[in-house]
Every structure is written in structure tokens, then in C-alpha cells.
């Protein structure tokens, strides 16, 4: 992963899942980010812990607005992805710790 992508991932740590109180990166909800420097487009593949998650709207909107605020010259697209389905294995060590998993 290049440094620009890493910066974006770091930025997305500001988006918190309000039910679980853990950021979406450590929850493993961010499946991928692509920054196209030539077309000035950002694509984020994002999933939710459950397809019916009532907080889904808020999480995707929050992520989009945050990127727009920090990358004002870019066009941002958030893609909701359901394959592969989110599972516990996607949690980072920090995410597990914050959920009291240990």
C-alpha cells in the first residue's frame, strides 16, 4: 500500500461505528481504497457488520463527508460491498482489544 492510501486509511479511523464505538478501520469494515491521481477520484470499498445495520447510512455518509473535507478536489465514491461477508477475523488487534475481545 502506498503512502497516499495509508494516509486515507488513517483518516478513515475518524469514522466510528456508533453501536460498537470502534473505528471502521479497526473493525475491518474498509475492504480497500483506491486513489486515482490523474482523474482525481477516490473509491472506498466498505462493508457493514450486518446487511441490515441501521447505522449503515450514517457510517457511509460520515466516511464520504470526511474524505470530501480532506480531499476537496477529489470525487469520492463509497461502494458498499457484501462479498466477502464481514467476520470476526477482519478485526484488527486494536479493534479486538477495544471490544473487550481478549
Q: Where along the sequence are the contacts to other proteins (CB under 8 A)?
A: 16, 18-21, 48-58, 60-66, 68-69, 80, 82, 85-88, 91, 99-101
Minimum CB distance to other proteins smaller for 40 or for 80:
80
Provide the minimum distance between the beta carbon of 14 and other proteins in the complex, in angstroms, as a whole number. Answer: 10
Provide the minimum distance between the beta carbon of 64 and other proteins in the complex, in angstroms, as a whole number. Answer: 6
Minimum CB distance to other proteins smaller for 38 or for 91:
91
CA distance 1 to 4: 8
The β-bridge relationship of strands 22-23 and 30-36 is unpaired
32: Cβ–Cβ under 8 A, 6 or more apart, which residues?
44, 45
Provide the minimum distance between the beta carbon of 56 and other proteins in the complex, in angstroms, as a whole number. Answer: 4
Cis amide leading into 25 (omega within 30): no
Minimum CB distance to other proteins smaller for 1 or for 102:
102
Would you tell me the crossing angle of helices 56-70 and 3-12 to the nearest 10 degrees? 130
Amino acid at each position: 500500500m502506498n503512502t497516499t492510501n495509508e494516509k486515507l486509511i488513517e483518516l478513515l479511523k475518524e469514522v466510528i461505528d456508533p453501536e460498537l464505538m470502534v473505528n471502521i478501520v479497526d473493525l475491518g469494515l474498509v475492504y480497500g481504497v483506491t486513489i486515482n491521481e490523474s482523474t482525481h477520484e477516490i473509491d472506498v470499498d466498505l462493508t457493514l457488520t450486518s446487511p441490515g445495520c441501521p447505522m449503515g447510512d450514517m457510517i457511509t455518509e460520515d466516511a464520504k463527508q470526511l474524505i470530501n473535507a480532506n480531499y476537496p478536489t477529489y470525487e469520492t465514491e463509497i461502494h458498499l460491498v457484501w462479498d466477502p461477508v464481514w467476520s470476526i477475523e477482519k478485526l484488527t488487534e486494536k479493534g479486538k482489544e477495544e471490544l473487550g475481545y481478549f
